[in-house]
Homo-oligomer: A and B are copies of this chain.
C-alpha cells in the first residue's frame, strides 16, 4: 500500500486488546522510521524510550487522558527531547558525522560555531521548544510506519510530563518527555473511533496555491 493509503487506514485508537503484543521485529521497524527522521541541522536532539514492562506502564498512567490505552497497549513509545542544546551535544553529533563520512574531525567547526552562537544564547525553554518540534517529525514517521505494518497506534499529548519524566528517570539522561505513541492492537469492540469517518480539513481549505 502507498503512504496515502496507510494514512487513510490509520486512526487514533481509543482501546487496545491487552492480550496482543507487538513483535520486537515490528517495534524495531517503527523505531527505525523515527531514527531516520530528519531534524534541524541533523542534531537529532531526542531519544525514544520504548516501554513494554507492564509494571512501569501502570506507573505512567496517573494523569493520562486515556489511561486504559496506556495500560492496555503493547508498547508506549516516549519521544523525549534534550532538555537543552549544549556545546558538548552539538560537538558529539558533528564529530560522529565527520567520522562516519571520513572527514577531518574539525570539518564542521565553522558550522557548529554558528549553531552554538544561536542555541547557547537562548534560554533553555526556547531551546526546548525547538527541540520538541523536531520530535514531531519522528512521531509522524513512526505513526506512518506502524500503519504500513497494519499495527494500531495512538499519538498522545494527554499525559503528565512530570510523572513520565520521574518514572523513566529522564532527568539523568538530560531528557524531557514531549509526546507519547501507544502501539498495539485495537480492542475492536471497545475502540469507538474505529467506525467513525476520518475527517480532515477539505483540500480547498487546506492549501493555498500561488
Chain A residues with CB under 8 Å of chain B are: 2-4, 6-8, 10, 12, 29, 31-38, 40, 42, 44, 47-53, 56, 93, 96-97, 100-101, 129, 132-134, 136-141, 143-145, 148, 155, 157, 168, 173, 196-201, 203, 205-210
Contact = CB atoms under 8 A, between A and B. Distances in A.
Contacts of A201: 35, 44, 93
B197 A100 contact: yes
Contacts of A96: 199
A48 B206 contact: yes
A95 to B, nearest CB: 11
Given A50-B208, A208-B49, A210-B49, A36 B200 contact: yes
Given A8-B36, A137-B143, A168-B208, 8 more contacts: A3-B3, A7-B141, A31-B206, A38-B155, A48-B207, A101-B199, A138-B140, A168-B210
A200 B7 CA distance: 25
A209 B138 CA distance: 17
A8 to B, nearest CB: 6
B141 A47 contact: no
A97 to B, nearest CB: 5
Contact of A208 (B40, B47, B157): B47
How many copies make up the complex?
A: 2
A31 B140 contact: no
A179 to B, nearest CB: 8
Contacts of A129: 129
B144 A210 contact: no
B134 A49 contact: no
A158 to B, nearest CB: 9
Nearest to A205: B47
Contacts of A157: 40
